[in-house]
Copies of this chain bind each other. A is one copy, B any other.
């Protein structure tokens, strides 16, 4: 069973739900009419299905190998696939035209990202991290730094990494100890050890550009004393070619549960030469520019692993013959019925579909607001775009990664015993997907970001705007009989979210532990509300096509899956609200020593 990129779903979202053609007056969108987008996505699908997907198992089984000289060899086939990736211009899809990119809306680039992550997550992380480095330099680099690095990162000719974590600090970057000492010539000498550096060292590119957080000698303690540096593996010479080897190296590879095809490195800086990006002691802010974008990407990875796992499970369920349907044989001439006839198997597949299709819409819708924030001429639209991006980034990251993992686990369950063996892809999807709940800020950190920062920002403007938008949709569509269950479901869950929001406002300030204890349930309730809104938008679009006489069964199926979401996924909202309202009491009552 090969992964089939869901291009039809992408086109439905872009064309009929988000209607990106109405934005053709905006930069980037002008260059991407739907027929061009469709060609791009078809070509992307071919590349991901035919080149990347077949290497997914290879990467898992072989992993990366570190030589005694610190070099890292990627799994067989990765190098050639990477060459094709660069040649196809895929890394440049969403980069700025000024640096050789194609400048397409990020919402279009997202479709490619989903496909490549689903086909081969460990592989896709190499260009993924490169894009992170690109974004950080774009956000804070000098003109010279931009001119030197951005074209090479945009094309994928050079790789990039983010050097954040150290043994004593993951979430708590204020504890960073890596030191930067001015060398006197404008550069810095960086010393320290970084761990869990994805794509930290490899044989795919002729150079690797490390973005490194470090503390300049004498800088203030904590997060206010951290600066960001560019540390290239090979220091570019006057012509911008990789020159002298820098004192940055891979001291070891991490043994991990999954994503074996990605080199997760211990990176050692022994007076490596670094160039400051932006101002001294302002490194964290720059890092968060990159991080927010990366968090949407991680939500997408979770979704992508769920999609690939779902597809494998659906294919297995249609082939595996075992027992008869409860309502009588459906394959009477065979020895047994395909297990997809069993309602509990169907339940797991439908759970997956309902969340994947709604979740994909939420990511795309959020990313479109990111595009609007950057490209729209109207300040109010830009501001709303920024608000939504800020508000929904933690929701997309945490809700969709944990759902992706549950879907991968259910997909494994559909396989029965076969799922637990490594002869089927189910185990790898489960193992690979698990990291998405952790990196780029654990899901708990996302939940705290949502309730502790994003809700309150600008006097709660973002969440109030979102609530008003949902209310307006509900009002405008109440009379639409075909949309009734969607509008009612949305109105109900939005009321629950509002109830939870009010509770947080009233109780979170009085005792911040109330906010902390409620945070994950609040985020999940937000996720359900977001998906309910997306399902209402999708159902409206599907209804429109059906009313217009479009007989494509895609639209009828969309409504069936949407109804499933409303009837069988949304009921979780009540439990989340009930838990929010327990407050910190039961959560914090047991003394730490009693654990």
Contacts and interface: CB of A to CB of B under 8 A. Distances in A.
A422 interface: yes
B571 A586 contact: no
Given A422-B256, A575-B572, A587 B516 contact: no
Interface in A345-369: 345-347, 349-350, 353
Given A413-B444, A439-B417, A564 B586 contact: yes
Nearest to A517: B343
Query: Could you tell me the dominant secondary structure of chain A's interface residues?
Result: helix
A254 interface: yes
A341 B517 contact: no
A564 B588 CA distance: 10
Interface in A573-595: 574-575, 578-579, 582, 584, 586-590, 592, 594-595
Interface residues of A, number: 92
A171 interface: yes
A434 interface: yes
Nearest to A405: B409
A268 interface: no
A170 B344 contact: no
Contacts of A344: 444, 447-448, 516-517, 519-520
Contact of A258 (B345, B420, B452, B587): B420
A421 interface: yes
Given A422-B257, A516-B343, A564 B587 contact: yes
A516 B349 contact: no
A416 B171 contact: yes
Contacts of A568: 579, 582, 586-587
B422 A553 contact: no
A587 B347 contact: yes
Contacts of A196: 417, 421
A587 B420 contact: no
Given A254-B421, A326-B512, A413-B443, 4 more contacts: A165-B417, A344-B448, A344-B516, A350-B587
